[in-house]
A and B are shown apart, each in its own frame.
Chain A
Amino acid sequence: MQPSAPSSPSIPALSLRGVVKTFGAKVAVAGIHLDIPRGSFFGLVGPNGAGKTTTLSMASGLLRPDLGTVSVDGHDLWADPAKIKRLLGILPDGARLFDRLTGAQLITYSGLLQGLDRSVVDARRDELLTILGLANDARTLVVDYSAGMVKKISLACALVHAPRLLLLDEPFEAVDPVSATVIRSILSDFTAGGGTVVVSSHVMDLVQRMCDHVAIIAEGKVLASGTVAAVRGGRSLEDTFVDLVGGLPDRTELTWLVS
């Protein structure tokens, strides 16, 4: 395992130190060390069940680690979660929302609970709904949204309080190409302005194009991390990834399917 991130003079935006989480007998995360530099667009990739979601949950203050520390801007997250969560914008994968609210109500609710002023919430809500293409569905109950719309409304809720660190689990899943482009450009602007984004994804092409840093996780451990260029070393990220997680499985022909 190589040391993560290039030499950064400042404190990392997010730092995981020996984080461990087990569920019963199953070890989901087996001691992860990660430093995510400020202003980086960080991709977290790994096969299904690698521990990406568990890692992000612990970094977002939703799941208490069994061991290890999580620091945001050098402050221990689990020492005072309520205060540090003001800095975070979170989009968990497949999470339920309070879906009996309309889209507009849900964003208003998130903004007000983060302590924003009503006038600020109103302005930001309308802007977010418009830019994410949800303006026409602002009055629809979230329970009636499609999967992609749910992703977008969740993202709006994660952005409304202008966080400094975004933790997004599979943010592009089920999102249409136009919205995905819009979201990518929002996130790029966000990092250009000094914010930090961590996304998890299965889509290697996307991570290679979009992120400047990447970590490959499998079986609850970091297999490689650093700048995208350093990790892939001239090959495609996908090839590197497949090699690191043990190559492609042998597969039989499925002749009954292709006949």
Chain B
Amino acid sequence: MAGVLIRLKLALLGNAFRRSIWQVVGIVLAGVYGLGLMLTELASLPLLARQDAEFIESAWVVGGGLLVLGWAVVPIISMGADMTLDPRRFAPFAMSPAQLMPGLAVATLVGVPGVVTVVLAVGNAWMWTSRPAMVPVAVLGAIAGVALCVVASRACTVVLGRLLASRNVKWLLLAGLSVPVVLMVVLVFSASTTSAVRLDADQIPGIANVFAWTPVGAPWGVTVAVARGEWWIASGQALVTVATLLALTWWWHRGLRETMETPPSDRRPRRSGDGLGVFSYAQGPLSAMTARSLVYWFRDARYAAGLAVVPVLPFVFFLFTGGRGVGMLALGPTVAFLLAWSISVDVAYDGRAFWTQLALGVTGRVDRAGRALAVLLLTVPLTGICVIGSLWATGRWDAAAATIGMTVGVLLVSLGLSSVLSALFIYPVPGAGENPFSAPSGSSAINLLTQVVGWLLLVLCAAPVLISGALAVRWESEAWGLSCLALGVIGGGLMLWGGVVLGGRRLDSHGPDLFAQLTAIR
């Protein structure tokens, strides 16, 4: 069974090469990157091996623990969120989850990230050469660590997959909202107990000793404890390792069984009202388009993910600027950019449902304007709160005009550019109901290129507003502030109008070609 699954994974990898040149480029780049990373690290091994024992021990535990943590978190923030062996695809076959698991586990390691992990983990055992008897122990520890990586990643993928497939993305918005609350509690708590937390190099061994008792650090900690001859600690940490492995395997098994036996569904036919929601207010093509976009912002994880980040941002800014720095004033423009930029992949997000836009004969201008309007309806109140909050936190009420100008400017310019970009470029994006953070394999190279070009254009177009705003804040100048406001509203307004017209024209002339590209991707 394991052999069949591994051959399947290899065949899938091989077929990816045959699909398009960009996939090949992506895979080759990933391979080169992984290989480079691996060789650089391995080349530094002789140097590491000559360090003192304490350094080796901390490096082993902290590095190894972070590796496991990375594997557990990666399916969430993706890069390698690998759904090629999606358990749902095995549901029709006469295989129990228990039969599938060994094969899935090994197949997880087939591919660039898996190979790099195995080689690094086992290769790093060489670090212990100054105590040759320790090398085999370290290799065993590394193997246990890799096993933990695999099981943690599979368990997270299965559980997360079920969450993401649900129609309701409230959990995502709740998660976004909960971060500030947690941070608040932590901040208040840490402020009341100690002075600021500081990290020194000589604290690391202490951290490593604690880390070695956590589920992610335990397999690496065992090696260290054995090296020190602390047998009780070693057996304790071995117990933690085995317990974690068993618990995660059980969790994975349960998730697999649920996925294969009861596909997720939360069908709720009885919604309140007439089932029209925001469409009750729609009167014509433009408002219908806007209503549809708004529904998607709240019911599609790919859009909702952007909204969920918004509550976190004020705290990130607060932490980085200390709350009083003028950098805080960039909060409004950042939120504006984040939300407005989301629609730069709107046509790709529509995916194959884009045919309805074509079939209905929607003019490109209405399409563009409707999507932009939905973002405006969401962004205006959100950025409003952010702008007022940042002015209040810094006490720079004199910079109100400049801050509003920059926020409005960035918002309108981003919307204008997004309207053109999404009508120009189609690239592979996760489909509705898939992990919003995952990228289809091999797409990253061209995604990144278009995004970088887009950002450069944005910076260029928004430069006048941003520069005049920055000058107003720096010189506390009312004149610059007012000119920033005027530039933001008038210049940004023109950019948005131009973006809607140009993007619309492009949709009118090339709609079927975009649709052909969309159907070719999947």
Contact = CB atoms under 8 A, between A and B. Distances in A.
A109 B279 contact: yes
A180 interface: no
A118 B270 CA distance: 24
Contact of B360 (A100, A110, A136, A139): A110
A95 B356 CA distance: 9
Interface in A136-176: 136-141, 143-144, 157-158
A100 B359 contact: no
B167 A141 contact: yes
B269 A137 contact: yes
B363 interface: yes
A99 B432 contact: yes
Interface of A: 60-64, 81-83, 85-86, 88, 90, 92, 95-105, 108-110, 112-115, 118, 136-141, 143-144, 157-158
B275 A105 contact: yes
Q: Which 5 A-B pairs have the closest CB atoms?
A: A139-B275, A112-B288, A85-B361, A96-B352, A139-B271
A11 B511 CA distance: 28
A103 B267 contact: no
Contact of A100 (B273, B299, B513): B299
A157 to B, nearest CB: 7
B202 interface: no
A5 to B, nearest CB: 25
Nearest to B359: A90
Contacts of B295: 100-101, 105
Nearest to B510: A64
Contact of B361 (A86, A99, A100): A86
A108 B276 contact: yes
Contact of A113 (B265, B273, B283, B362): B362
Nearest to A102: B275
A98 B285 contact: no
B265 A144 contact: yes
22 contacts: A61-B358, A61-B359, A81-B511, A82-B363, A85-B358, A88-B359, A98-B350, A98-B356, A100-B299, A102-B275, A104-B275, A104-B279, A105-B275, A105-B295, A108-B279, A109-B288, A112-B285, A113-B357, A118-B283, A118-B284, A143-B433, A144-B265
A113 B285 contact: yes
Contact of A62 (B271, B282, B358, B433): B358
Nearest to B513: A64
Contacts of A157: 356
Given A102-B271, A140-B271, A96 B361 contact: no
B255 interface: no
Given A81-B511, A100-B296, A105-B295, 7 more contacts: A60-B359, A61-B512, A62-B512, A64-B516, A85-B358, A85-B359, A109-B282
B515 interface: yes
Contacts of B271: 102, 139-140
Nearest to A129: B275
Contact of B282 (A63, A115, A118): A118
A60 B268 CA distance: 34
B167 A139 contact: no
A113 B167 contact: no
B276 A102 contact: yes
Contact of B359 (A62, A109, A118): A62
A139 to B, nearest CB: 3
A205 to B, nearest CB: 29
Interface string B247-268: 0000000000000000001011
Contacts of A144: 167, 265, 267
B355 A114 contact: no
B351 interface: yes
Interface in B273-303: 273-277, 279, 282-285, 287-289, 291-292, 295-296, 299-300
